């Protein structure tokens, strides 16, 4: 192994948080910043095109293509877990939906013993990060690097879904990102003039030529190097060669909720008994590493509709070429749409403090093929997904092997509590009630999936167990706090270790009530400010020593 350059900060992972951290730290020209990404650059046509997310769902080039372990509560099915492997991380392949979460999510974080993370304290970082087409205001900014925009096409079915939801008793929501999102409305997305705006495209592409910022791709970090309980650098694998980089100030792990705990464990930080079984020397016994895994479990429902109620027919046959031409010329049309453009946030019952269910709606449907291809269905239909956004179930990311090139074992424990089952059933009934209400009722000709034959709780549970899947929002595996399972403190420093932080969705003590990309970027923004404020002195004669 050879040693090479020294940097002030080494950031592991160029995902949604890592790109924000690298941008803000490199704003100081006196700091040398190294950003390491295991995946390649991501700037081809299908990455830039919002509808290209279907092409990326099982992309070998840009996707880790993870799978869970068999899930006992889902009939031992192994679920597919796509995760981004490219500059921009999952923001380069996701559905682009921009939802911050409810203000009470963040107030709860603070109440759990994490000062500085209440809604009022994180709101400035949401605002700082964005350039919102709705303009500046109490909840939005226009000077940030990240584009946030309204749907390119307001399909009539989107508007009718919202109207029907409101007629079932929900309020109309003009802005899901103003702190309280109970009700129905349009969703915003990270799309800029018809083009996906990933975290890389927003935060790093415009400043990539900074002389104090080094971005390296296709380089796999094997472990954080330690001297006692102080992080000194990282060991990497690049083009078959093992080498190291030294960090004079800090190592910042931004590898995501699935990979950050693995990297800590490979570095000797985790449950000592487990590490010993894998032949890894324990630097710090930290039993919470990999615990507290949370994700939103999703159940899809599809409805056959009248022709004008769905744009499936616009994306098949000769019409898809017309849509392609339209997109190339105008950057508009259906190829410029995110995964969902309307939603309803509802409570599963009267005793729930604030919405714990999201019903996302789209005026089209698609089918995942075993080959990995995603095909728009050849009939007129609309689809919706129901998922509990504050699950009670907790899972685990476990070390499978001491080999850094092997994925860890994912145990999501979906529907692991009766509470999650009951809440999801409530959401599915609410979806049917919305669709049965005018004006949606006049658009829907019948339910396709799971179909009208599914009526009882037992039938719904059977369908959930057979067909439910992840919503691609894992979080919580290096949680912030001060309890025995906490991994980082409120300043995102790994407890018991010097010069090492985790800054990504893994630090969420409780997953936010909605899509997780926006709060992950906020975590990157706030984390960078804390790193700069703490500004540890550079280690003298810094070397990446074990």
pLDDT in tens, 9-22: 999 999 999 999 99
Beta bridge partners, 545, equal: none
- The verdict on 234 and 349 lying in the same domain is no
63 is in an annotated binding site: no
Alpha-helical regions (H) of 112-171: 119-129, 156-167
Catalytic residues: 473
Alpha-carbon separation of residue 24 from 135, 252, 530, 546 (angstroms) = 23, 13, 11, 29
Q: Could you list the residue range(s) of the whole structural domain that residue 436 is in? A: 152-186+297-388+415-464
Q: Confirm whether 533 is domain-assigned.
A: yes
Backbone φ, ψ for residue 458 (5° rounding): -65, -40
224 is in an annotated binding site: no
Q: Confirm whether 340 is domain-assigned.
A: yes
> Is the Cβ–Cβ distance between 514 and 100 less than 8 Å?
yes
- The verdict on 270 and 305 lying in the same domain is no
What's the CA gap between 110 and 129, in Å, rounded? 21
Number of structural domains in the chain: 2
Per-residue pLDDT band for 545 (boundaries 50, 70, 90) equals: low
Asked whether the predicted pLDDT for residue 544 surpasses 70, the reply is: no
101 is in an annotated binding site: no
- The verdict on 23 and 85 lying in the same domain is yes
Asked whether the predicted pLDDT for residue 363 surpasses 90, the reply is: yes
Mean pLDDT of the chain, nearest integer: 95
What's the CA gap between 136 and 145, in Å, rounded? 14
- Residue 1 is predicted with a pLDDT of 38
Alpha-carbon separation of residue 482 from 248, 262, 373, 415 (angstroms) = 27, 21, 45, 27
Look at 39-43, 100-104, 529-533 and tell me which has the smallest mean pLDDT: 39-43
Residue 365 belongs to a domain with what CATH number? 3.30.410.40
Dihedral (Cα; 514, 517, 522, 523), 10-degree rounding: 100
What's the CA gap between 324 and 327, in Å, rounded? 5
- The verdict on 483 and 459 lying in the same domain is no
Beta bridge partners, 358, equal: 345, 387
End-to-end CA distance of the chain: 12
Handedness of CA 513, 514, 520, 525 (dihedral sign): negative
**pLDDT tens digits, 215-244:** 999 999 999 999 999 999 999 999 999 999
Q: Confirm whether 67 is domain-assigned.
A: yes
Q: Confirm whether 284 is domain-assigned.
A: yes
Two tokens at 337? 């749409």
- The verdict on 311 and 459 lying in the same domain is yes
- The verdict on 521 and 496 lying in the same domain is yes
- The verdict on 15 and 98 lying in the same domain is yes
**Residue 70 DSSP one-character state:** P
The pTM for the full model equals: 0.96
Q: Confirm whether 502 is domain-assigned.
A: yes
Mean pLDDT of the region 371-397: 91
Closest CA to 517 of 55, 281, 196: 196
State the DSSP H helix or E strand holding residue 186, giving kind and residue range, or none if neither: strand 183-186
Asked whether the predicted pLDDT for residue 256 surpasses 60, the reply is: yes
**pLDDT tens digits, 191-218:** 999 999 999 999 999 999 999 999 999 9
**pLDDT tens digits, 456-483:** 999 999 999 999 999 999 999 999 999 9
What's the CA gap between 245 and 443, in Å, rounded? 60
96 is in an annotated binding site: yes
Per-residue pLDDT band for 2 (boundaries 50, 70, 90) equals: very low
Beta bridge partners, 386, equal: 299, 359
Q: Confirm whether 194 is domain-assigned.
A: no
Backbone φ, ψ for residue 44 (5° rounding): -90, 180
- Residue 224 is predicted with a pLDDT of 98
> Is the Cβ–Cβ distance between 343 and 184 less than 8 Å?
yes
**pLDDT tens digits, 89-119:** 999 999 999 999 999 999 999 999 999 999 9
Residue 271 belongs to a domain with what CATH number? 3.50.50.60
Q: What proportion of the chain, given as a percentage, has pLDDT over 90?
A: 91
Q: Confirm whether 68 is domain-assigned.
A: yes
Per-residue pLDDT band for 316 (boundaries 50, 70, 90) equals: confident
- The verdict on 234 and 165 lying in the same domain is no
- The verdict on 32 and 85 lying in the same domain is yes
173 is in an annotated binding site: no
- The verdict on 515 and 487 lying in the same domain is yes
- The verdict on 143 and 36 lying in the same domain is yes
Q: Confirm whether 191 is domain-assigned.
A: no
- The verdict on 113 and 173 lying in the same domain is no
């Amino acid at each position: 192994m050879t040693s090479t350059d020294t940097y002030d900060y080494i950031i592991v992972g160029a995902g949604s948080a890592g790109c924000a951290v690298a941008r803000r730290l490199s704003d100081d020209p006196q700091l040398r910043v190294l950003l390491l990404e295991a995946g390649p650059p991501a700037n081809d046509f299908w990455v830039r095109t919002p509808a290209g997310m279907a092409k990326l769902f099982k992309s070998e080039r840009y996707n880790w293509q993870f799978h869970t372990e068999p899930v006992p509560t889902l009939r031992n099915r192994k679920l597919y877990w796509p995760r981004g492997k490219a500059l921009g991380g999952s923001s380069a392949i996701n559905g682009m939906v921009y939802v911050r979460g409810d203000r009470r999510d963040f107030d709860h974080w603070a109440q759990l013993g994490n000062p500085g993370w209440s809604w009022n304290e994180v709101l400035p970082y949401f605002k700082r990060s964005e350039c919102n087409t709705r303009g500046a205001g109490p909840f939005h900014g226009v000077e940030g690097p990240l584009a946030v925009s309204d749907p390119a096409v307001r399909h009539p079915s989107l508007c009718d879904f919202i109207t029907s939801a409101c007629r079932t008793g929900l309020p109309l929501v003009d802005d899901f990102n103003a702190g309280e999102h109970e009700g129905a409305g349009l969703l915003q997305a990270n799309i800029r003039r018809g083009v996906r705006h990933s975290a890389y495209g927003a935060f790093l592409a415009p400043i990539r030529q900074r002389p104090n910022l080094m971005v390296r791709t296709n380089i796999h970090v094997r472990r954080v190097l330690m001297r006692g309980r102080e992080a000194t650098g990282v060991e990497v694998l690049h083009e078959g060669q093992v080498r190291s980089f030294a960090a004079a100030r800090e190592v910042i792990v931004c590898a995501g909720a699935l990979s950050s705990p693995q990297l800590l464990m490979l570095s000797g930080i985790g449950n000592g008994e487990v590490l010993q079984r894998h032949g890894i020397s324990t630097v710090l016994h930290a039993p919470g590493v990999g615990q507290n895994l949370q994700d939103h479990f999703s159940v899809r429902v599809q409805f056959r509709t009248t022709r004008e109620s769905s744009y499936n027919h616009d994306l098949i046959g000769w019409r898809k070429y017309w849509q392609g031409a339209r997109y190339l010329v105008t950057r508009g049309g259906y190829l410029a749409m995110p995964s969902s453009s309307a939603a309803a946030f509802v409570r599963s019952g009267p005793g729930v403090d604030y919405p714990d269910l999201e019903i996302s709606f789209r005026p089209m449907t698609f089918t995942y093929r075993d080959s990995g291809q995603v095909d728009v269905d050849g009939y007129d239909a609309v689809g919706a997904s129901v998922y509990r956004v504050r699950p009670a179930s907790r899972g685990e990311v476990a070390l499978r092997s001491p080999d850094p090139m092997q994925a860890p074992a994912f145990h999501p424990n979906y529907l692991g509590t009766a509470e999650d089952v009951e809440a999801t059933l409530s959401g599915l009934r609410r979806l049917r009630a919305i669709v049965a209400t005018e004006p949606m009722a006049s658009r829907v000709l019948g339910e396709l999936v799971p179909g009208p034959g599914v009526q009882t709780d037992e039938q719904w549970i059977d369908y959930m167990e057979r067909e439910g899947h992840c919503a691609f929002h894992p979080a919580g595996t290096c949680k912030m706090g001060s309890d025995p399972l906490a991994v980082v403190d409120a300043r995102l420093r790994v407890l018991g270790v010097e010069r090492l932080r985790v800054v990504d969705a893994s630090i969420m003590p409780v997953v936010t009530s909605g899509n997780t990309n926006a709060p992950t970027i906020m975590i990157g923004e706030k984390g960078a400010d804390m790193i700069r404020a703490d500004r540890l002195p550079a280690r003298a004669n810094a070397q990446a020593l074990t």
